[in-house]
Amino acid sequence: MRSTMLPRNTHNQILIVGNGSIALSGTGERFINNHIGQLLLELTDQGYVPTYIAPYTNYDINSNLLNFELTEKGVDSVVLKVGSKAAILRSLLLTLHAVKKATHIYIFFPGTLGLLIVFFCRLMGKSYGLYVRGGKYSHNYLSRIALKAASFILTVSPSIAEELRTYCDNVFIIRPMIDIECSDKMVRKKIQTKPERWKLLFVGNLKVNKGIIELITAVKILNDKGFSCQLKVVGGGVLYDELLSNPEVGSHSLTSNIELTGVISDKKVLMREYENADIFILPTYHEGFPRVLYEAMIKSLPIITTMVGGIPGRMVDNENCLAIEARSSTAIVAAIEYLDGNLDLYNKIGYNGQNVVLEVLNNNKSHCELLSEGLKNYVH
């Protein structure tokens, strides 16, 4: 049962500005990312009255990112639709009203909606905080203005935090919004001989910029070379149906090498996928710091990843991961073959990775804790 630490009143109205979407089902339910949803519930426990605002999208049951139902949990939301001029005007008026009504503004950044709300905040003389993720937060002039004008900034990545401090004095590193705990750790036995078939794992949103096409191509290359491996792809998204129907992937020629599971929402089932895998691969083009790396590390699963966005803030090549360049199937192939021939490194990066995530879980305050502190100490 949740307890209320502060009285819920109009002086604690907080507008949370998403840089994702609110998905509407055919029967009117509103879904958002589960980790953001949990943050909204924690803010409610702290006495805040959160309202979540984000653009509209259609609900897709295959998306593992949007599975928190807002109305069921009693959380207010504002859905913005565009298309016609009337819809755009209505969305602008809804946004303006939401900003005017809120006592506090907290923006998931970067994003077009976030920039618009920064403009409204400055117009009304309202202060705001930012949660920065991804690697494209300072790529244009308006974004840099938004960073400089923020009262405080939160992020999960030490490397991103270091750069953000060139814009804002009040930058703090949160404990990542993940479901894992120290008790989820698994001590993986060191391997002395390579397995007969390497079990590869990808978990995430199936879209082009996650590098999933390059990963599938890499497995095909390895297959043609006679290298024994199997790839399991966990997740849904815009490419799920396309990949499922592709004769090179779904239930056709590479059935024994590539398996698409779709979304796995049950934590215990998902954790077993990490436990049963030999190598986790994330060939993403850009990121903040993805939760899937933490999930792999808690199971001491050796990781191959690109070093983009906030990933270098936690990951070190040849220490707790094997780094690859983005957009390159040949780099993925080379990394897998390298670990195949270097079992000492394989064991080392799995062991070190688990130490990293345990340190993160033990030594950082939660998102809600630091957000509450930021609102109390830096927003006037």
**pLDDT, tens only, 307-365:** 998 899 899 999 999 999 999 999 999 999 999 999 999 999 999 999 999 999 998 89
Pairing of strands 30-33, 66-69: antiparallel
Query: What is the residue-averaged pLDDT of the chain?
Result: 90
Q: Which residues contact 59 (CB under 8 A, 6 or more apart)?
A: 23, 24, 25, 26, 29, 31, 66
What does the pLDDT read at residue 10? 55
What percent of the chain is modeled with pLDDT above 90?
A: 69
Assess contact for 59 and 10: CB atoms under 8 A: no
Residue 260 or 137, more confident: 260
pLDDT at residue 65 tops 80 = no
What does the pLDDT read at residue 39? 94
pLDDT band at 4 (very low <50, low <70, confident <90, very high): very low
Assess contact for 287 and 135: CB atoms under 8 A: yes
Q: Which of 153, 172, 165, 74 is nearest to 110 (CA)?
A: 153
**pLDDT, tens only, 142-153:** 999 999 999 999
Distances in Å between the Cα of 376 and the Cα atoms of 101, 208, 373 are 19, 40, 5
What does the pLDDT read at residue 243? 82
What does the pLDDT read at residue 78? 96
Assess contact for 247 and 275: CB atoms under 8 A: no
What residue ranges define each of the domains in the chain, with the CATH number in brackets? 10-175+364-378 (3.40.50.2000), 182-363 (3.40.50.2000)
**pLDDT, tens only, 215-241:** 999 999 999 999 999 999 999 888 888
How far apart (Å, rounded) are the C-alpha atoms in residues 102 and 355?
Answer: 41
The count of other CB atoms within 10 Å of the CB of residue 112 is 10
pLDDT band at 252 (very low <50, low <70, confident <90, very high): very low
Assess contact for 285 and 251: CB atoms under 8 A: no
Amino acid making up residue 119:
F
Q: Please state whether the predicted TM-score (pTM) of the whole model is above 0.85.
A: no
What does the pLDDT read at residue 7? 45
* DSSP class of 183: G
Alpha-helical runs (H) found in 63-189: 85-101, 112-124, 141-149, 158-164
What does the pLDDT read at residue 265? 82
